[in-house]
Amino acid sequence: MDLEVENGGIEEDRVRVWGKSLPVPSVQEMVRNDSESVPERYIQENDNRPLNSALCSELSEIPVIDFSLLINGNEDELNKLDFACIEWGFFQIINHGVAEEVLHDMKAAVAAFFSLSLDEKKKYSMPENDLQGYGQAYVVSEEQKLDWGDLIFLMTSPLEARNMKYWPNSVPGFKEAVDEYSREVERVSEEIMANMSLLMGMDKNGLKRLHVVMKQSMRMNYYPPCSRPDLVLGVSSHSDGGSITILLQDDDITGLQIKHKGGWLPVKPIPNALVVNIGDAVEAWSNGIYKSIEHRAVTNANKARMSVATFVQADEGIEIGPVESMMQDRPRMYKNVKYLDYIKHVLGRKMDGKAHTNFLKLESE
């Protein structure tokens, strides 16, 4: 089906690949009406069920980076960041300077949105030809397994990328809370990328320059409790296609799991910390030294969980591939491709219900 869109060029392409999602029921509403049933469409194939896939044999925690030490040029902390990006692809940051109140207001804004009536939430529904709004992403067939969660996806930066018709103005303080959090996450993500740039043999602005435009979007997730958490996934396994992702999650409910040493490892929340992970673009720029790790979210029988994933992404018009400084003593492992083509590839596979592959990798050809 060809979509009629008014935007030209890249925007049109993006809408074309992104905009095919079928409408699906709200999981939150389903659970409100009947908290026991788990419809067939949500029951994962055997191998993907939370308890059937191997858990990581090590009982370890992802690295914790002290952001205040990092930005003050502490050498040990910089080395810790390097280790985290190489061995884990995931870490938590503490002492990041984002005020507790800002984190609290952001979570409260998301909670307030999801507590609106269904009719009210539907005013911000994601239409077929857009990726922004309230709903579920990448649903293309009646057979496809569905995630046990609802979401609202918003472009947050640059300002001209925002489409305010999807911003729930019936939630008092929503815009202010997102604005403030967005600015803070931008500061934090720029500092992290500045330090990664140094580690990758560039100057501090290396990664920022490669982005041309630093784009930021937020996926706000709401996972209702599930009577059979052993059968469903809040978000099925994926890696993030952007540069880095910053995740804000509930302090007291574990849901995120990451692939580590061949098994799934739960990430235990640290109150007021932020979880950071490497996306496919940084993996490619770093020539595969930094890893974009598969992750998923599981549910539980008792409590709803919320999270906000903030994606930092480069302009779709750029070309991505390993930077020179990462190919000095290592052969090229990734090819150069237009970032837009990469996004199309990733989304195309999602739309076809296929497993994710990082087609930038030369060995995977």
Q: Which residues bind ligand AKG (CB under 6 A)?
A: 219, 221, 235, 240, 247, 249, 255-256, 295, 297, 307, 309
Map tokens 């990733």 to a residue.
Answer: 346
Q: Which of ligand AKG, Fe ion, none has residue 256 at its interface (CB below 5 to 8 Å by kind)?
A: ligand AKG
Q: What is the DSSP string of 149-218?
A: -EEEEEEEESGGG--GGGS-TTSTTHHHHHHHHHHHHHHHHHHHHHHHHHHTTS-TTHHHHHHSS-EEEE
Nearer to Fe ion, 287 or 307 (CB): 307
- Out of 240, 280, 283, 316, the only residue in the binding site for Fe ion (CB under 5 A) is 240
Closer to ligand AKG by CB, 129 or 236: give it: 236
Closest CB 238 distance from Fe ion, rounded Å = 6
Q: Cα–Cα distance between 147 and 145 in angstroms, integer? A: 7
Q: Which is nearer to ligand AKG, 196 or 244 (CB)?
A: 244
Q: How many residues bind Fe ion (CB under 5 A)?
A: 1
If contact means CB under 5 to 8 A according to the sort of partner, which of Fe ion, ligand AKG, none does residue 219 touch? ligand AKG
Q: Using CA atoms, how far apart are residues 58 and 246, in angstroms rounded to an integer? A: 24
Shortest Å, Cβ 219 to Fe ion? 8
Tell the smallest beta-carbon distance from residue 172 to Fe ion (Å).
Answer: 29
147 binds, among Fe ion, ligand AKG, none (CB under 5 to 8 A by kind): none
Contacting residues for 159 by C-beta, under 8 A, at least 6 apart: none
Q: Find the shortest distance in angstroms from Cβ 315 to Fe ion.
A: 21
Is residue 147 at the binding interface for Fe ion, with CB under 5 A as the rule? no
Question: CB 175: neighbour CB atoms within 10 A?
Answer: 15
CB burial of residue 230 (10 Å; 0-12, 13-18, 19+):
middle
Give me the least distance between CB of 313 and Fe ion, in Å please.
Answer: 13
Half-sphere exposure of residue 133, counting CA atoms within 13 Å on the CB side? 20
Give every CB contact of residue 313 below 8 A, 6+ residues apart in sequence: 211, 214, 215, 216, 217, 241, 242, 243, 279, 281
* Least gap, CB of 344 to Fe ion (angstroms): 19
Q: Which residues bind Fe ion (CB under 5 A)?
A: 240
